[in-house]
Amino acid sequence: MTTTQLKSVFADYGPASLLRDRTVVPDGFELDFIETGTPIQGMARMVRDLEFDIVDMSPTTFLAARSMGVPVIGMPIAMFAEFPHALIWTHRASNIREPADLRGKTIGLRTWLTPVAAWMRGMLAIEYGVELDDVKWKLTVADTLDVKLPPNAERIVTDPKTHKLLEMINSGEADAVIDASTLQWHHAVEQRKVDPTLVQSLFPDTHEFTTALHRHFGYLPIMHFVVAKGAMLEQHPTAARTLFEAFGKAKELYFDRLRAGTTTTDRAEWLVARDRDNREMLELGIDPLPMGDEVVAIIERLMGFMVKYGYIPQPLDIRSQFAQVR
């Protein structure tokens, strides 16, 4: 059988770990994993230059790229999903005690297209009736695409490998930060990334709160999922289904490893944290990595938030943005 090589960008976490170590191999395809430094850099190279065949991408980057006509296609395979609430930290001196207190404050973000902030804005509006139109946003990393920022956002470009948001919240330069790269609150405290005498989590970071959120919303917000180059899927008609099946098999084996506690820990802390968070979700009876139609429906919800807050000009036909995998 002829084997087709696919240039792939996935960090060593979740089901991708089993594809990287070749525990699971897609029939007829060989995944050539390319290191790009950070996930943001991999996404940027994909949407700007279509450099790869399949990548791990944020849904906000994907929807913004599709609204600009970039020929990438979504694969309904979640790579990373969580509620953003435990990623909102506030400086105690800013006197932010509830979501409404965020109005008029300075909030730090890595990028404008970070899915954490888009999800959080939409969920705050639904849960608490809080809109953040008058917030001053400070962005610390260049976006994957040349997106237009609103008047109340400014970018201070730093090295994407640094943790500028940690500096901003610890020093009080920002009243709050929303950040997915420095782990949930309890992990951050355990690792002394923040000083809990100066910084606090806006929401409870507990299993009970997570369960309540899932019961309220009925879904888990997707932060990253699989995206393919459209030309590759056209050239190889069996690729979408084959890759979907391979990721599905890898997911089952990955969950087995999580339950058995056999995932490796000799990786970067943020990669290990993904395993820890996924294991906690499984223990709560929540599927942390949905696949299929559920992924499409969840990203459609995010698209509604992105239209509302001006990330993209108008809704897309969401079904046509995804490959047929069955």
Residues 246-299: pLDDT tens digits? Answer: 999 999 999 999 999 988 878 877 788 889 889 999 999 999 999 999 999 999
Tokens of 148: 């237009």
**pLDDT score recorded for residue 269:** 77
**pLDDT score recorded for residue 30:** 96
What CATH fold (topology level) applies to the domain 84-217?
D-Maltodextrin-Binding Protein; domain 2 (3.40.190)
Indicate whether 170 pLDDT > 60: yes
Burial class (CB in 10 A: 0-12, 13-18, 19+), 75: buried
Q: Which amino acid is at 187?
A: H
The pLDDT confidence band at residue 223, using thresholds 50, 70 and 90, is: very high
Strand partners, 77: 291
From CA 278, how far away is CA 321, in angstroms rounded?
A: 27
Q: Decide which of 3.40.190.10, 1.10.760.10, 1.10.287.3510, 3.40.50.920 is the CATH code for 4-81+222-321.
A: 3.40.190.10
pLDDT in tens, 98-123: 999 999 999 999 999 999 999 999 99
Closest CA to 293 of 74, 145, 92: 74
**pLDDT score recorded for residue 180:** 63
| Cα dihedral 275/143/314/124 (nearest 10) | 50
Closest CA to 112 of 75, 63, 42: 63
Segment 88-96 shows an average pLDDT of 93
3 state SS for 262-314: CCCCCCCHHHHHHHHHHHHHHHCCCCCCCECHHHHHHHHHHHHHHHHCCCCCC
From CA 100, how far away is CA 164, in angstroms rounded?
A: 25
**pLDDT score recorded for residue 183:** 62
**pLDDT score recorded for residue 61:** 97
Q: For the chain, what is the largest distance between any 2 Cα atoms, rounded to a whole number of angstroms?
A: 64
Same fold, 4-81+222-321 and 84-217: yes
Domain boundaries, given as residue ranges, for the chain? 4-81+222-321, 84-217
